Chains A and B, each alone.
Chain A
Amino acid sequence: MNEGTRFRIDDGRIDWVEAAGLVVTFEITKAFLVFPEKIAKEGLTAAWTIPLVSGLLASLFIWVLVVVSKAHPGMNLIQITNYLAGPTVGFIAGVALYLYLMIIIVTGFREVADVLITVYMPLTPLGFFLASAYAVVFYVAFQNTETLARISVLTSTVVVGMAIILAALSIGRYNTDLVFPPLGPGLIPLFKKYGVRQSIYGEFLSLGMIAAYLREPRQVGKVAAVSLGISIFTFTLVVLTCQMVFPIPSLLRVSAPFLRVARVIKLGRFFQRLDSLFVFVWLGVSLLQAAVAIYLASLVLATVFHLQSHKPFVVLNVVAAYFGSWAIPNLAAALTIAFDLARPYGLLLLDIWPPTLLVLTLHKKKQLREGAGGA
């Protein structure tokens, strides 16, 4: 092993539950705003099947990632790439992952800010809101893996629980006829979407980074299975709920459907205005997601540049993310960048990178076996 690539960023150790919490928080936060509308545009009445089938397809690549991580315990994805393909390829892959993470933060947080300002804080300037929020993100991202992972367990539980509660309270408004016709745009277009929209699981690349911090490296498979299961369930639940409340023509127009669902829950005189609960939880988890993303992006840079700590990059990344979020002209532009550019192309990272590493791992093992046999 090339010891030069296997340095340690001493950032604490986490168990599999904390790792799953971290991945789930990073992955599912995007489900609660424009996500259902974007998915509905592609899948029409069959929209709810997109996160489900795409998730199952993505599980193949995530499984490959798990196999690669298991084969290299204690190393993150970039360290593995450095080790198997050399520092140049590792550098390129690291930069690609870094850019992907930064685009996710920048567009995702702009989406959060825009919806919040539109609905609840119309007079607050965008720059001020972003500065306040990124100040918190900076503070949280400055913590180590252990701290972030522990708080993620709490937030992921709360946010998934909240999604289930809101979906359950909306049952009175469900109309099952609205998920028909069952094939939406047609079989062939639908299968194309299943392929492309594996990209919604792109955040699972974070698993390759945090696997290095697992107390039991062999439990990375468990982390992947649990977090993928929770993510598929949450995405499908959110899209299905929105679909059964808003018929397809309306769902294609509404900009934050799940928030609107929360705003129409009315159970008697005293059980309404549940959106206040929703917004509180959602804002909290969005801040944490941004902090996790900044942390991971910083970790990627620290690995690429062989630093022992991610902290020097946190300041840089927060400043870059702030100006990035601020520079995007509006919500529509943020969504175009995220859903139509970054995610589809980011899919290449998930679909090519881990399988390539798997091939190289197998090749390396074969070489080592042959070397040992020859000796």
Chain B
Amino acid sequence: MKLGKRFLPAILLFALILTGCWDKVELDDIAWVQAMGFDKGADGQILTTFVIGIPRLLQGGGGRGGGGGSGDGSSGPGPHHTTVTVQSKTVIEAIALAAINLGRRLSLQHTELYLFGEELAKSDIRFIVGAIDRYREVRGSAYIMVARPRAEDVLRVDVSPLEVSPSRYILTLAQQHMQTGLFETVFLVDFVNSLESEDDFPSCPIISLSRSFKQEGSTESGKGGGGGGQGGEGQKGQQGETQFPPTPRVGDRIQQPGLPPGLSGPQGGPMFLEGGQVPRVGGGPVEAMGTAVFRGGKMVGDLNGEETRTMLMVKGDFERGLFAVPDPQVPDQSQYSLSLDMRGRKTEVEVNRQGDRVEIDVHLTLEVSYMSMKTQSDYTDPRMEPLVEKAAAEYVKKNLDRAIMRTQEMGADVFGFGRRLRRTFLTWPEYEAFAWQSKYPQAQIRTNVEVELKRYGLDFGPLKVTPGEKLQESQ
């Protein structure tokens, strides 16, 4: 008690003084930036796009974007955020330039996403990432992504039919990394660490405007904008920003052919592997899929969704994913693919080095926790299980080998093999002198994938075809 009495004045004094004048923050003096995007501007300048939440609209809940920017929030549902794009010499200058337009100080304390346009990413983003990383308000736990084609376009669309704010969408989208494995989630801190590391190359997910959305957009601009009979809810915002597309009309169909050339799976079937290329109608205008691969600060290529999954498996970051694996008894007919829910179980990477020669053995163990089949073959029969396990393992191995080969061509080890290589050296100077970045393309990498069928779902065997039905079919 006596002790408390002695220290209480000190605590009170300190609290009283430090809450004082200079750094006081009034919440309604701040514009809270939810996401930031960067694109190449004219004359080597940067275009920075800010997505800023409008708290008074979020407060009411209920309505969401699509109304085309009524603006006051009281006359119907409108976007719960606004965007502003400024051109500047540096990123930090852009914050000041946006503030003099919005009339509020911009705060990055709650920024969840930093998005880089593909064109800018292919030039060099090291200086931008460096500037962000050292800015005091920025949190290392914000996500980094590459936008295809441009960050400003992706940030201007109303991203999701389900979420009222872009930041909420970013969070729920990131969770799909664990559910699908079709993209990775990369924190700013990890990206920066990789950027200056000898042994781990930077990578981040790609978020794209969907193919159907881009086509709709171009059609509309040909028509001169407006709703164009698409439900009459307005396709363009007041400032020309494209809002969330309305629910498709009855009779709207996925445009055929579904896939552009080069997007077929290993067996020739459609694999829907690239973000923005998934054939669909309705839904939101963006998709996150695939991985942007960097060497230093420059994007040098990308991995598709399936390759991204194998990358995550090697890194030990693969949680689960639904795979369409060719039926081992009819491997050439993709329409009979097996549906497998595979989960990562174990990753072993062994790195051996003799002089400049590096040999890497990768052993992945996956397990299947759900399976559905489209033929009458009963793969839950213990005698048939090895067939499925082998087919699934071959499928993953094929994708893994292709991913490794492609990254070796790019000269970018996004699998983190270099980190394992550290263990083969005794001192740091020796390791640095080895210069793994230059050796990766020549490394011998052997892969081995093992799949274990653990569970099948709630049924054994496929749904049976009755003898009468069989007879009718044969006739």
Contact = CB atoms under 8 A, between A and B. Distances in A.
Interface in B15-29: 17-18, 20, 22-23
Interface in A107-126: 118-125
Contacts of B467: none
B429 interface: yes
A269 B139 contact: no
Interface string B16-56: 01101011000000000000000000000000000000000
B23 A124 contact: yes
Contacts of B426: 181-183
A311 interface: no
Interface in A126-144: 128-129, 132-133, 135-136, 139-140, 143
30 contacts: A121-B18, A121-B23, A123-B22, A124-B23, A129-B18, A132-B17, A135-B17, A136-B10, A136-B13, A136-B14, A147-B3, A147-B6, A175-B419, A177-B422, A178-B422, A181-B423, A182-B426, A185-B427, A185-B428, A247-B197, A248-B428, A249-B198, A250-B196, A260-B140, A260-B189, A264-B139, A264-B141, A265-B141, A272-B141, A273-B139
B139 A118 contact: no
Given A181-B430, A249-B198, A151 B425 contact: no
A140 B7 contact: yes
Contact of A264 (B9, B140, B425): B140
A139 B8 CA distance: 11
Interface in A260-280: 260, 263-266, 269, 272-273
B17 to A, nearest CB: 4
A273 B109 CA distance: 10
Given A122-B23, A124-B23, A250 B140 contact: no
B196 A253 contact: yes
A281 B87 CA distance: 41
A71 B431 CA distance: 51
Interface of A: 44-45, 118-125, 128-129, 132-133, 135-136, 139-140, 143, 147, 150-151, 175, 177-178, 180-186, 246-250, 253, 260, 263-266, 269, 272-273, 287
Contacts of B189: 260, 264
Nearest to B139: A263
B171 interface: yes
A253 B22 CA distance: 29
A180 to B, nearest CB: 4
B158 interface: no
Nearest to A260: B140
Nearest to A139: B10
A120 B3 CA distance: 30
Interface in B313-348: none
A151 B139 CA distance: 33
Given A147-B3, A147-B6, A272-B141, A181 B193 contact: no
Q: Identify the interface centre among A133, A136, A140, A272: most chain B CB within 10 Å of its CB.
A: A136
B446 to A, nearest CB: 20
A278 B39 CA distance: 36
Contacts of A151: 3, 7
Chain B contact-residue range equals 35 or more
B448 to A, nearest CB: 21
Contacts of A263: 139-141
A260 B133 CA distance: 11
A121 B23 CA distance: 6
A129 B22 CA distance: 11
B419 A150 contact: no
A283 to B, nearest CB: 9
Interface string B227-253: 000000000000000000000000000
B187 interface: yes
Pick the 4 closest A-B CB pairs, nearest first.
A123-B22, A180-B422, A177-B419, A264-B140
Given A123-B23, A177-B419, A249-B196, A45 B428 contact: yes
Nearest to A182: B426
A36 to B, nearest CB: 15
B14 to A, nearest CB: 5
B223 interface: no
B51 to A, nearest CB: 19
Contacts of B200: 247
Contacts of A178: 419, 422
B3 A150 contact: yes
A176 to B, nearest CB: 9
Given A45-B428, A122-B23, A247 B141 contact: no
B136 interface: yes
B199 interface: yes
Interface string B105-147: 0000000000000000000000000000000100111000000
A181 B22 contact: no
B443 interface: no
B7 A247 contact: no
Contacts of B420: 177
B14 A132 contact: yes
A181 B425 contact: yes
A287 B197 CA distance: 37
Given A132-B14, A132-B17, 9 more contacts: A120-B136, A125-B22, A140-B7, A180-B422, A181-B425, A184-B427, A250-B192, A250-B197, A287-B14
A44 B6 CA distance: 45
B433 to A, nearest CB: 12
A247 B427 contact: no
Contacts of A177: 416, 419-420, 422-423
Contacts of A287: 14
Contacts of A147: 3, 6
Contacts of A184: 427-428
A207 B248 CA distance: 77
Contacts of A150: 3
A260 B189 CA distance: 9
Contact of B199 (A124, A186, A247, A269): A247
Contacts of A133: 14
Contacts of B196: 249-250, 253
B20 to A, nearest CB: 8
